[in-house]
Structure 1
Amino acid sequence: MNFINIKAWKSRCTGAASLLALCLCAQPGVAQTEQILFDDFSYTTTTQLANNGWRLRTWEGGPGLANGTWSTNNISFVTDPASPANKFMRLKASTNINGSTIVNNRSTTGSVSQAEVARVEQIYKNGTWAARMYFNDAPSTGPDGDTAIETFFGLTDYIEGAEPYSEIDFEYLPNGGWWTGSATPSMWSGTYRIVDWSDESNHGVTRTQGSLQGWHTLVMQVQDGLITFYIDGVYQTSFSGAVAPDYPMYLMFQLWFSNDCFDAACNTRGYINNSNYREYFEDVDWVYFEKNNIVPATEIPQKIANLRAAGTSYVQNINGNSTSSTPAASSRPSTSSSSTAAAQQCNWWGTIYAICTHINSGWGWQNNADCVGIQTCQTLSPPYGVIGSTASSSSRSSTPLSSSRSSSSAPAAFSRLIQAESYSVMSGVQLDAANDGGAGQYVGWIDAGD
């Protein structure tokens, strides 16, 4: 007989718990050992996007002008003209500011509206970052020439000139600029240890000139002390040592306007001297992150194809989370839950982390898991922030429980730990004594026919 060796697993299954003797299932297209974020952006509204763990910026300020605005109205979902079943997330930025009216990095006439989409969890560091994006070299409306910046990047909470800080970027400037004096389209691939341009040892940046108008697959591979950049499977640059990222980051997209110096002498700046309305956009087809695994850049498209073939439009199963959806269910509110026991914990936008004992601010790593400095956690308002002194659990949903229930006759989904040996009825199952910290027994063998 052929046997399968199994011990215990965490499962996410659909069905009545009382009918389960043994349940083994996984998110479609995702290997059980993979911890990934994948989003196909198969949405129709920004509410659906937010329900799946994305934060849409609405507060004003940098990067860019100090009084620059950011709006959820600049984020939409458009149908792929080449494949009507597919959708893109579109980020838009627009302005009618005349550069000559900007004083002390603030506009005195006109306005600017930009777009930012970021993950709510600050857990992204080592592993493979990837996104398929469409870049534009010219505005869709209005005169050309502004220093527009189309981006895919990772960032910690912003700290000026100090640790703890990490930042990694793909930043495409279709009109050039940034002190170069050149209007040639350029991709800036970089990593920042701290925000301090006066000391080049604090960052590493490579500028690659040439148009990237159209679709491209961007990949960043991050390991301790090393980051490598690829575009369309082709190596671009890499940086090692102190400038490589040290801290978990948010995964983000932005489209914004820079008013930094266009040339080294700062004779001109990023905004053109024109008050006519102009508008830029960038599209994102999908985003993928795989924790602690360096996926060859040329293999990323097949990873995405496998997920799509399995009908998976969204997965976030990193650090014990288990949230996924298919295109048919993408409008449902997403729910994530976790539990832990510690003297104090941090409820970080619905995900529970331990409070670091070795640092007071920023993010750290202890006991083989991410942790949050207590001062950083205290920046969140209730019901988030520092919680409890004993074992606790948290469940976060975009709608109240009563309103998220369905009247459908389909059984409800649940996520919990099921001990494989705790069956009520079995056939062809053999138990063995456990030798780990959990003691007891485990399922050693299951007949392949059972």
Structure 2
Amino acid sequence: MKIRPLALWAGAAVTALVAVGIAAPAQAAPSISLQYRTSAPGATVDQVEPWFVLRNGGSSPVALRDVTIRYYFGADSPSQQYRFACSWAVVSCSTVTGTFGTIANGSTGADRYLEVGFTSGSLAVGGSTGDLQLRYYRTDWQRITQSDDYSYAPGTSYAPSSRIAVFVGGTLVSGTPPTGGNPTTPPPTTPPPTTPPGNGQVVFDDFSYANANDAAIAAHHWTIRTNAGGPGIPGATWPKENVSFPAVSGSNKALQLTSSTDGTGAGTRQSEVLHQRKFLEGTYAARVWFTDAPDSGPDGDAVVETFFTITPLDHDLDPSYSEQDFEYLPNGGWGEPSSILYTTSWETYQNDPWIAVNTHTEQRRSYAGWHDLVLQVANGQIKYYIDGELFATHGGDYYPETVQSVNFNLWFISGGQIGSSTPRTYTQKVDWFYHAKNQVLSPSEVTARVNGYRAAGTSWVDTVPAP
């Protein structure tokens, strides 16, 4: 379906100037086009994920604060409430707003709309916003039926859509709203918070570092591992340069772990970043990018991509030991033949002979891409959430007793290498990390707090004292 931008502003006309006999030319309407894709196709989903790109095909720049996008959908019930989140935006999520409106007497699939706006920025002539990777979800985190939504289309590649409306200054310039879906006055947008959200003792890091040698890394209580030892292939090294902070969308940076192997210990370079030991009860969260394939070289190694908390093991079967893991094995391992994600809670272990005292929950499927991982440790229970859904609940003997560190690492399972001497390289990324001490936060509350920090321009805060 092709977008049909209006040729002129509604109501635009030639008006007389003060000078007698001189008329002003008609002002050309902005020629704004929109392309749309979804990153969550399917009749029912955990989150609706409309992604947009706006382009300016006109002859003058357009202030983004004057532009709004409306995505129309049907509420799952008259009283159902929704929340908006910006996952990525080239123009920065801190400038993107999202509000919900109701269409009076709307039809099935078109009685609500998400209105996306901007607080700043300009769309240059011939320019585009780049990706606006957006999502919304029910406040109760139940699944959403989107197959009958007016604006929804299942395509996962960008294409024009005539069922998503674009307004400039409140005037429709492209798209066709549903009946009753074009009120004359747009709803007000909610400005971003001016101060970071959340009370109590928290840690937030947006990983806005220059490189692995940035002095702020240590000042913010992170350590890039360089010492030898496990886990992984015996003889592997952990070089500092395997940690970097590339831009992943616009100016937004992420922590990147890079690990490579040629199948030998001497040819294996793994990576890990860890925070100081001061965490116990509360909520832990990170947005993590998992990969199914190497960036280069042949595929198939048993590689482990992780986000976890841990207390060191002082001796075999140490009862004070604890660990809570998110571990993704894209090529399987430990007896599994293919992609599997584990959440594992540990009481203790012995290395030789091997004795593991743990409990785990797993899902056998691909988890390639970005995921919001949330861990709640409170009231004798350990709860793991992935993308807003409860994945596992553990407790009892597996509940941690002593303070832990927070870790991200990327390593190869010993004995799980393919029969090739060609080097292969894997990467894992972490967009942000958040911890709220002694607070139990839902995944949506975590998202709201992280978005609030970003909207306020806060890249790091740490008010959790060291033990």
- Secondary structure at the counterpart of residue 327 of structure 2: strand
- Compare the two structures and name the one with the higher helix fraction: 1
Gaps of 5+ in 1: 1-26, 99-106, 260-268, 320-350, 352-369, 371-450
Residues 135-150 of structure 1 mapped to structure 2, 5 A cutoff: 135-150=290-305
Q: Which AA in structure 2 matches 1:69?
A: T
Tell me how far 1:158 sits from its aligned partner: 3.1
Please tell me whether the aligned partners of residues 224 and 246 of structure 1 are also in contact (alpha carbons under 8 angstroms).
no
CA distance in 1, matches of 2:355, 2:233: 24
**Residue 40 in structure 1 maps to residue 40 in structure 2:** no
2:382 aligned residue: 227
Q: Which AA in structure 2 matches 1:145?
A: G
Cα deviations by residue, 1:95-116 (Å, 9 ceiling, x for unpaired): 1125xxxxxxxx4xx4110111
Q: Which AA in structure 2 matches 1:291?
A: K
**Residue 156 in structure 1 maps to residue 322 in structure 2:** no
**Residue 65 in structure 1 maps to residue 246 in structure 2:** no
- Secondary structure at the counterpart of residue 277 of structure 2: coil
Q: Which AA in structure 2 matches 1:190?
A: T
Bigger Rg over Cα: 2
Please tell me whether the aligned partners of residues 333 and 413 of structure 2 are also in contact (alpha carbons under 8 angstroms).
no
Tell me how far 1:75 sits from its aligned partner: 0.5
Tell me how far 1:224 sits from its aligned partner: 4.2
Shift >3 Å, 4+ stretches? 196-200
Tell me how far 1:298 sits from its aligned partner: 2.4
1:89 aligned residue: 255
Please tell me whether the aligned partners of residues 288 and 430 of structure 2 are also in contact (alpha carbons under 8 angstroms).
yes
1:111 aligned residue: 267
2:331 aligned residue: 175
CA distance in 2, matches of 1:154, 1:124: 8
Cα deviations by residue, 1:119-178 (Å, 9 ceiling, x for unpaired): 1x2111110010001110000000111111100000112344212211110000010111
CA distance in 2, matches of 1:60, 1:310: 40
Q: Which AA in structure 2 matches 1:35?
A: Q
CA distance in 2, matches of 1:177, 1:65: 13
CA distance in 2, matches of 1:239, 1:199: 19
- Secondary structure at the counterpart of residue 204 of structure 2: strand
Cα deviations by residue, 1:251-281 (Å, 9 ceiling, x for unpaired): 110011111xxxxxxxxx3111111000000
Tell me how far 1:28 sits from its aligned partner: 3.7
CA distance in 2, matches of 1:28, 1:167: 34
2:425 aligned residue: 279
The match for 1:29 among 196, 199, 202 is 196
CA distance in 2, matches of 1:61, 1:191: 22
Tell me how far 1:199 sits from its aligned partner: 5.8
1:131 aligned residue: 286
CA distance in 2, matches of 1:157, 1:287: 21
**Residue 192 in structure 1 maps to residue 328 in structure 2:** no
Tell me how far 1:301 sits from its aligned partner: 1.2
TM-score, structure 1 length as denominator? 0.58
Alignment CA distance shift 1:212-1:218 (3 Å)? same
CA distance in 2, matches of 1:195, 1:297: 31
Count how many residue pairs are aligned between Structure 1 and Structure 2.
Answer: 270
> Which protein has greater RCO, CA pairs closer than 8 Å, 6+ apart?
1
1:75 aligned residue: 243
TM-score, structure 2 length as denominator? 0.56
Q: Which AA in structure 1 matches 2:232?
A: G
- Secondary structure at the counterpart of residue 179 of structure 1: coil
2:70 aligned residue: none
Residues 305-324 of structure 1 mapped to structure 2, 5 A cutoff: 305-319=451-465
CA distance in 1, matches of 2:418, 2:335: 15
**Residue 204 in structure 1 maps to residue 359 in structure 2:** yes
CA distance in 2, matches of 1:273, 1:283: 27
Q: Which AA in structure 1 matches 2:348?
A: I
Cα deviations by residue, 1:18-65 (Å, 9 ceiling, x for unpaired): xxxxxxxxx94044x321110000111222322321011101110112
- Secondary structure at the counterpart of residue 161 of structure 1: coil
Cα deviations by residue, 1:180-222 (Å, 9 ceiling, x for unpaired): 3x1x21111011010248666x211112111011110000100
Gaps of 5+ in 2: 1-193
CA distance in 2, matches of 1:199, 1:151: 22
Please tell me whether the aligned partners of residues 146 and 272 of structure 1 are also in contact (alpha carbons under 8 angstroms).
yes
- Secondary structure at the counterpart of residue 118 of structure 1: strand
**Residue 56 in structure 1 maps to residue 216 in structure 2:** no
2:86 aligned residue: none
Tell me how far 1:311 sits from its aligned partner: 1.3
CA distance in 1, matches of 2:444, 2:365: 22
CA distance in 1, matches of 2:282, 2:257: 26
CA-atom RMSD in angstroms = 1.9
CA distance in 2, matches of 1:277, 1:94: 7
Please tell me whether the aligned partners of residues 197 and 449 of structure 2 are also in contact (alpha carbons under 8 angstroms).
no
**Residue 291 in structure 1 maps to residue 458 in structure 2:** no
